[in-house]
Amino acid sequence: MHKTQTPIEVRYQETDQMGVVYHANYLVWFEIGRTKYIESLGLVYTDIEKNNIVSPVVDAQISFKKPVHYGEKATVETWIDQYDGLRTVYAYQITKENGEIAVSGTTKHVIVHKESFRPLSLRKAFPEWHRIYLKQVNGES
């Protein structure tokens, strides 16, 4: 299974008064990891957007295990957990620089027309993405 590792340097504005990363920022880090993952597959998300298509998050699950503090470095590991031609579930694991797992989670996405938000089949609208995503969930290179 193909996974990417994206380094993150914790910035001051990402932390709360306790000096730990504010919980909502982990979702931003998920997005950073997801973008790098898509790029690592040779795909470009803006190619979808050029067709007035966007990929909103329809569900997000997150589990907090250890806090990440200002000044620390972390890594977002990203992979496709599930894909059925319509919905894609990306999985994430954020690891602290000492190797401890800080956060894990998933986000579920669909693609929709930007104006109507009418769902589309990734399989039909972007067959190359579909082929590559199928290979990922089937464990092929």
Residue 54 CB-density burial (10 A; 0-12 exposed, 13-18 middle, 19+ buried): middle
CA distance 33 to 82: 16
- Residue tagged active-site, from 16, 47, 59, 84: 16
pLDDT at 30: 98
Mind listing the pLDDT tens digit for each residue in 55-106? Answer: 999 999 999 999 999 999 999 999 999 999 999 999 999 999 999 999 999 9
CA distance 6 to 79: 11
Structure confidence at residue 7 as a pLDDT band (50, 70, 90): very high
**Residue 140 clears pLDDT 90, i.e. is over it:** no
CA distance 6 to 37: 9
pLDDT at 113: 95
CB 93 within 8 A of CB 4: no
Structure confidence at residue 139 as a pLDDT band (50, 70, 90): confident
**Residue 130 clears pLDDT 90, i.e. is over it:** yes
**16 included as an active-site residue:** yes
**Residue 53 clears pLDDT 70, i.e. is over it:** yes
